[in-house]
Amino acid sequence: MKEKKIESHSIDLPVDYLSLLDSVICKVEVDLASWLSDLSGRKNWEVWSESENDNYIIFFLKQENQDAEVTLYNSGYARVDINGEVVFQGDIMEKNASAARLSYYSVESGEKILLN
């Protein structure tokens, strides 16, 4: 049996380069008013209250005679009800990448991390 010779190459990274061992927080940020406009065909949605617990956050929005409830789970799953009717249910990044974006933050400093 032949042995393959593996070459190793060193990479010089700056000292402040993000280590693979550093803790990072990943947040999904959503433009709720724009997303609801896309889902409902109506503009000018306004957030009028919110409720939060360890696993999810619920936003209550109004637009004239319409009411919406948007539940965003920490797992990336979301559910949107408009006037009691489910209009979206699923992974927000998979199904709705245009209104949602991921942002990364350092656990230690809280500073936003830009990835290329």
As given in the structure block, the two tokens for residue 103 are 């942002």
Amino acid identity of 8? S
Could you read off the pLDDT tens digit of each residue along the chain, which spans 116 residues?
Answer: 555 555 555 555 555 555 666 787 777 788 888 889 988 999 999 999 999 998 999 999 999 999 999 999 888 889 999 999 999 999 887 776 567 777 888 888 888 887 65
Rounded to 5 degrees, φ, ψ at 51 are -140, 140
Residue 94, helix vs strand vs coil: helix
What span, in angstroms and rounded, lies between the C-alpha atoms of 34 and 37?
5
